[in-house]
Each structure stands twice: as C-alpha cells, then as structure tokens.
Amino acid sequence: MISLLEEKKEFLVLRYSLVEEPQYAIDVKPIPSPKGAAILVSIEKDREFQLNGVRYSFVGFSEASETAANQFPPKRFYVGKMAKLKQAHMGKKIPGDIIETQEDDWLPILTVFDVEGQYIFVRKDYRFGTPEQTMRAIQGGLREPVMGYFNHRIFVEGRTRKEHFWRIVSDHKKFYKLELRLISPNILDTNMKAREALAALKLLFAQDQINITLNNESGELLVPTEPVTNYLEYIEEGEGSWAITTEGNHGGKKTYSSSDNIDTVEVSMPEEIVSQGRQLELESGELVHGNQNTVAMMVAQLRAEVDKYSER
C-alpha cells in the first residue's frame, strides 16, 4: 500500500558562473545558448569522477517535463542526483570467525539545474558534507568536461545575502581579516560597479578571479560600507565569496564565511511511502523520475523562487 504525505524538503541555493579561458585547443565548440546549458556535457550518462580521493557521480539527470498543473519552460530544468561513494564496513560471521568486508554505499542527494538562470538547487543533507564541500564537489564534477568542450572554467558558489555580513560586523568590535573572492564577469546580473571594475582588470590581466585579503593583527581593521557593499552585492548573486575574522565569543578569534550563510528554500512535495519500507535503488532513477507530477510540482516551486530573486 502506498500513501501520499506532504513533506517539506530544504534545498541549498547555488549559482554557477562560466568564465572563458584563452583558447589553446583547435576543436573547441561554441558555447551554447543559453550559456548555462554548457553543464549538460558534465551531467549526462551517469558520469563518475574523483575529487580529493572521493568518488562522486551525477546520476539519472534528464529534462523535467511540465504538467497541466505545474508549468515551466522546456529545456530549462534538469533533475537527477549527485551521489557520493562511501565504503560500508561489514562483518560476515563464519564458523569460528568474523570476516570484515567493504561494500559500496552510495549516498544520493536530489539536485536540480536551471540552465537559464544558472542556479543549482541541492537537497540539504549533512551526511553528504558541509555546504562548502557540496559546492566544491559539484564544481569539481562540472569543470573538466565544460573546459574540454567549450574552453570555459566553471565556478560554483552559494547565493547569500549581504545582510548576513553586516549583521556579523554590527555584532563585533574587532576585525582581524577580511577576505573577498570575486569571480570575473560572466552573464549573471550583478552589481555593475564591481562588474565594471573587474571587467577592466580582466582586459589587463585575463584573470579568472580576484582575491582580496586585508589584515590587521591588532583587530583594528576598518570595514567601510563603501566600497565593501558593492562587492557584497556582486558576491550575493553567486559570483564569489567572503570571509571575515573577528574576536571570538570566549577569547581568541572566529572566522565567519558566506558558505556558512547560503540561502535555502523549502519545497513542499508529496512523498511516496511504501509500507514494506523498500529502499529505492540509486541506479533505478525511480526516486527522481518515478512520478512526473511530483517532479513537476518541485520544479515549479523552484522556478517561483528564481522569479522572486529576479524581482529583488
């Protein structure tokens, strides 16, 4: 017997940027339209990859199809799973002994790519790792194919809000370090002052990103509203990251970062509950594609969140 319940699922809101590299290869393909569709070469065919000695895989990605009740543009949203391989240590009992074995234990998280808005929505699950680890894993998996096909380097960052930064500043008195990482301009709509400054520098140096690090060992570092706000507005759209080191609550120092303050969205979804408790297998794709209405309902809500961001 299968019953339907409505559950709230929390997703991290990430964005990806594509920055063109100097062309060395002869057979580079033209970047597609929309530009964000370049990532499709990385997520097709259940591709596996390694990062820092850990195996990952993009599994079961395909275009989401709208329904009569939940409508959205075609060829825009792609739904599947990002999976991380862990080794499960098992003990098998035999007469007079226990034999230790290792078995593959894939941990999947639901993932949605919006190739028009260049958003990534990832189901929040700390078993998979921290938000920072999740971002770096996705970035690592996307980079090589996109670079090889289209000669563009890809960056993945969380969408955050400048208010998080200023709240931290208002709650502290000492500032020892401010770090700003700014990705070079691409097609995302971001703060124009910061964009124009980075574009001018890119003409001179052809950089992928700029890292700004300001230090004051005595904790007297100033954090002026301008020009910092310009860079925070650039970063909050997913085009960089920030970190600030202040005094700790109980002495010492503490560092706060944008990766600790990534936006999340809650999505209501009907959850199929199978009375026997059978676990859906990773390879089947059933969790993602078994119910078109469920997928369309999820994607329509995510599309509405993207529209809200565009209206701000």
Reference 110, options 301, 312, 311, 309; nearest CA is: 301
Residues 147 and 169 placed together within one structural domain of the fold: no
The pLDDT tens digits along the chain (312 residues) read: 344 556 788 999 999 999 888 766 678 899 999 999 999 999 988 999 999 999 999 999 999 988 888 889 999 999 999 999 987 767 777 777 777 777 778 999 999 999 999 999 999 998 899 999 999 999 999 999 999 999 999 999 999 999 999 999 999 999 999 999 888 654 334 445 555 665 565 554 555 677 889 999 999 999 999 888 988 988 888 888 999 999 988 889 999 999 999 999 999 876 553 333 333 344 444 444 457 788 899 999 999 999 888 776
- Asked if 255 and 272 sit in the same domain, the reply is no
Structural domain count, the chain:
2
Assess whether 255 and 180 both reside in one domain.
yes
Do residue 252 and residue 303 come from a single domain? no
Last residue in a domain, options 245, 260, 275: 260
- Let me know whether 12 and 102 are in one domain: yes
Q: Residue 186: which residues within 8 A CB-CB, separation 6 or more?
A: 17, 18, 19, 35, 239
First to last CA, the chain: 45
Asked if 27 and 113 sit in the same domain, the reply is yes
Residues 9 and 137 in one domain: yes
Question: Does 268 lie in the same domain as 256?
Answer: no
Place of tokens 């990806």: 16
Exposed e or buried b per residue across 86-106, where buried means at least 16 C-beta atoms within 10 angstroms of its C-beta: eeeeeeeeeeeeeeeeeeeeb
Regarding whether 242 and 128 lie in a shared domain, the answer is no
| Claim to verify: residue 101 and residue 186 sit in the same structural domain | no
- Is 195 found in the same domain as 69? no
Are 181 and 211 in contact by the 8 Å Cβ rule? The answer is yes
Question: Which one of 260, 277, 301 terminates a domain?
Answer: 260
Nearest to 165 by CA among 251, 247, 253, 231: 231
**Containing structural domain, residue 142:** 2-159+263-311
Same domain assignment for residues 55 and 92: yes
What are the beta bridge partners of residue 109? 82
pTM: 0.81
